[in-house]
Amino acid sequence: MDWADRLKKLLEERLKKPVNRRTFLKGALATGGVAAVAKASSEVLHPSPYITDRYTWEKFFQKHYKEMTPRDKEKVFARIESETKKKYGVEVKVSDPQPIPGVKFVYCLNLSACNGSRYCVKACVEENNLSRSPQIQYIKVLELERGSFNLEKSNRYYEGESVPNDGKFYLPAQCMQCDNPPCVKACPVQATWKEPDGIVVIDYDWCIGCRYCQVACPYEARHFNLADPEIKKEEINPNQGYLSNRIRPRGVMEKCTFCLHRTRKGQYPACLEACPTGARKFGNILDPESEVSRILRNKKAFVLKEELNTVPSFFYYFDD
């Protein structure tokens, strides 16, 4: 006797009358509906850990970064630290260094010196807790034919047993920290903005993941977290900044922030420190004695896609 016969018999006993097809189906639908409602209500009352971790009371009512008081920030940072501890098993310290008055960061890159060894890419991935899988990299090193400058013909997937490859030169591209940033204008919820020291930042907890900014950016500098980032426990950088390199949640945008958790404390960005050839220069453009000021005075520096009027803070130059 299968379950349908059994159910039919049970109903007949209860109702004391024979069951035809119509009454049977009615009963079956009602039972199914009750079961579905019960299942749904149990999910509301006892939701899965995925839901509970993602949507907590504190997270839902967390304010925008600019509206947070220092006390709010303390609470939020403690929450992020405990969540990271729970999820990745690592003790981290979330800090929030503020922009230094009278400082505007500028990056200069010597294309004659860059040898395309991707040391900067590796340092950036390690410093900024970038997802290894799915892979996210802020810096793209483009390989170009010597004597040409058509970026559409560049190759970013080149192999290099001994770089520089013959007849090639290399152009690393990352976020240009534009002074007229199209990504900021595109954001419908103001989750991204430009800081006084020139760095375009994202409040990862305010971002709704609509990806308008990714489309708006002409430099492909913004990246979307399609999945929870996968990073090995021992590779997580515990020195984290709220607006920069803390481990991003799923479904938000992220981008290069000139390592603001380092640079606002006086250090150089990780990509610069890793560069073996000294092609990268970083400093305060408002200081006339800084290296970047001297480069912009003495070298013929240029920016990428100048015609778009994005006014980048990232300059390229060639030696002589």
**Positions in the binding site for other proteins (CB under 8 A):** 100, 115-119, 121-122, 135, 137, 140, 142, 151-164, 173, 218-220, 263, 266-268, 272-273, 275-278, 280-284, 289-291, 294-295, 298-299, 304-305, 319-320
11/163 with CB nearer other proteins: 163
Q: Which of 223, 240, 250, 249 is nearest to 140 (CA)?
A: 223
Supply the minimum distance, in Å, between the C-beta of residue 176 and other proteins. Answer: 12
Supply the minimum distance, in Å, between the C-beta of residue 181 and other proteins. Answer: 17
Supply the minimum distance, in Å, between the C-beta of residue 118 and other proteins. Answer: 4
Question: For residues 23 and 30, what is the distance between their CA atoms, to the nearest angstrom?
Answer: 11
173/202 with CB nearer other proteins: 173
Question: For residues 123 and 106, what is the distance between their CA atoms, to the nearest angstrom?
Answer: 19
- Cβ-based burial of 31 (10 A; exposed 0-12, middle 13-18, buried ≥19): exposed
| Contact (CB, 8 A) for 182 and 235 | no
Supply the minimum distance, in Å, between the C-beta of residue 154 and other proteins. Answer: 4
58/166 with CB nearer other proteins: 166
Q: Which of 128, 150, 87 is nearest to 243 (CA)?
A: 128
| Contact (CB, 8 A) for 304 and 176 | yes
116/249 with CB nearer other proteins: 116
76/259 with CB nearer other proteins: 259
Supply the minimum distance, in Å, between the C-beta of residue 108 and other proteins. Answer: 9
Instruction: Using alpha carbons only, give the angle 298, 299, 305 rounded to the nearest 5 degrees.
Output: 140
